[in-house]
Amino acid sequence: MFTSARIRTLLVGIAFWIIGTIVIRLIGEQLLVRERALPLYAISFVAMFLIALRLFRLLRVARYSLLAPRTLRCSATRSTACC
């Protein structure tokens, strides 16, 4: 069910969540000022996209596995071998 790549991806995601929570708790009031909210959101959106791409390459996560669940991939190819 879970492969080592999925477990590593899950652990990296949990690590990001913990680090983000700590950062928001420690310096959230300074970061989340009304004047900086929109630029900070735009910068973080682009940064998370780029970080996710690099992490998926590093962890060797297949591209198609990120786009659709396994059942959708199987029904799209009409193959019973992958299900």
* Domain boundaries along the sequence of the chain: 4-77
Q: What is the pLDDT of residue 24?
A: 86
What is the value of pTM for the model shown?
0.51
Q: Count H helices, E strands: the chain?
A: 4, 0
Can you tell me the mean pLDDT for 33-55? Answer: 86
Q: Checking phi first, is residue 6 left (phi over 0); if not, alpha (psi -120 to 50) or beta?
A: alpha
Split at pLDDT 50, 70, 90, the class of 18 is very high
pLDDT given for residue 57 in this prediction: 80
CB under 8 Å to 8, separation ≥6 — which residues? 59
Residues 52-65: what's their mean pLDDT? Answer: 72
Bigger pLDDT: 45 or 1?
A: 45
pLDDT score, position 11: 87
